[in-house]
Amino acid sequence: MTRDTTRTPGARTAAPVRWWAKALLLPLLFLLLYGTTACVMHPPGTLHGHTAEGDAGLASGQDVGRGTAGQGAIGNGAIAATLHAHWTAHIAAAVRKDLAATVAIYADDIVYAAPGAPVAEGLEPVTAMEAASLRDGFVVSAEHVTHALRVFGDQAYELGTVIGPVGATGQPPTVITFHFAAVWRRGADGEWRILRFTGQPEGP
C-alpha cells in the first residue's frame, strides 16, 4: 500500500491509535457489558481461579463462566491456565533479562500501544522496545492476575493486571500495578500469543 505523504505531522501516529481503539476496545466493551454471565472473574489472592469442579462442568471448550469472591471461577480453565503460564514465562524471562524468551509471548503482527510512546506495530519494534526496557530497568518479581476472559474460537480477550517491584537501573525498585487489555490469538501451531496489547499503570 502506498503511504499518503500529504498528511500533516502527527497524523501518522494518530491514525493507528484510532484503529487500535476500534480493533481492541470495542470487543472489550462487549466483554464488560456481557461479562456478568460469560467471563472469568478471579477472587483476590488467586491467579487464574479455575477449579476441577468448574473445569468438569464445561459444556463447551469455548465457553467461559463466572466466579465470585470465595469460590473458583467456573469456565475455560484450560485456556485461562495456558495464558497464565505464558505470562509466568514472560515475567520470569524479564527477571533474568532474557530478551528472546521475553518476546515469545507476542505474535509476529503484534500491535502494542503504551502510554506516552508511539504505537509499536510488528514484532521487530516491540522487541526493540522490550530490549530497551531490559537494558534500562529490571524486574524483581511480578504476579499476573486475569480479571476477565472471553474466548471466541481462536481469539481470546483478556482484562488483567501485573503487579510487582520493578525499577530503573541503579535505582531502588517500586511496586507497580499495571492494568492491561490483551487480545490473544491461537496460531496454526496451537500456541496462544498476544496479538493486540494496551495498558496503563496506576498512579497520576
Q: Round to whole Å and give the CA distance between 28 and 41.
A: 14
Residue 90 included in any domain: yes
5 within a domain of the structure (yes/no): no
The grid coordinates listed for 148 are 476477565
User: Is residue 3 one of the residues assigned to a domain?
Assistant: no
Number of domains in the chain: 1
Q: Sign of torsion, CA 133 134 140 146?
A: positive
Question: Is 63 a member of any domain?
Answer: yes
Q: How far apart are CA 61 and CA 133, in angstroms?
A: 37
Q: Give domain status of residue 20, yes or no.
A: yes
Buried b (16+ CB within 10 A) or exposed e, 142-176: bebbbbbbbbeeeebbbbbbbbbebeeeeeeeeeb
Domain CATH code at residue 83 = 3.10.450.50
pLDDT digits (tens, 9 = 90+) for 44-94: 333 333 333 333 322 233 334 333 222 223 347 889 999 999 999 999 999
Over the stretch 147-168, which tens digit does the pLDDT of each residue have?
Answer: 999 999 999 999 999 999 999 9
Please give the residue range of the domain that contains residue 153.
11-201
The helix (run of H) or strand (run of E) holding residue 100 is helix 99-102
Higher pLDDT, 195 or 57: 195
- For residue 6, tell me if it sits in a domain: no
